[in-house]
Structure 1
Amino acid sequence: MRDPFWKKTPDAPFATLVRIAGTYCHPEADENAYDDLKVLARRDDRREMTDFKNDLRRAIVDPSGLPEWELYREVQFDDGSTEKFLRRLWRDLYPDEPLPEP
């Protein structure tokens, strides 16, 4: 199995989004992982989470630079499309904020 792109190039665009989503949203993650992510997502005192939110916002607005296959491989979402997964993730993590629009 090859290393995920975010391990080889942690500063690559969307690397933080893919890494964190893979850690907390993968179906084999700890059963409380998604709830933990909801708590972490509100931590604006952690640069990693600020970067994650910015990556998520950018991916929703313009997914053209997002390595979709890498995201799917890390998360294995079943929403039907990358865009649907990203929008659901935003609504779950930031319910009081409007969905980013292009």
Structure 2
Amino acid sequence: MPCNAVHAQRLDEDKLTTLKEHQMNGHGRHKCCQCAYNQGYEQGAQLRENISLNINALGDTQAGGDGRHKSVHQAFALGYIDGINHFIDNN
């Protein structure tokens, strides 16, 4: 089952495949990497200094295109970096 959330930003499929495979043992297992990426992107674009990944707000997924068995923590970090880069490039 894919995530039903709307993803304003999409983590590029090439970057998605570079994320480490990890079951996370309750810390993001079966959660959507696209949702995690979007959380990070939004916080980076706002230049937030105190960032936080809200795992409970991530969509549930079993679909490969949403980062099945990949690290949501890494997806969040990539989103944060991309959000900062967006801010810098547009200001």
TM-score range for the pair, normalised by the shorter chain length: 0.3 to 0.5
Q: Per chain length, whose mean CA-contact separation is higher, i.e. which structure has more relative contact order (CA < 8 Å, sep 6+)?
A: 2
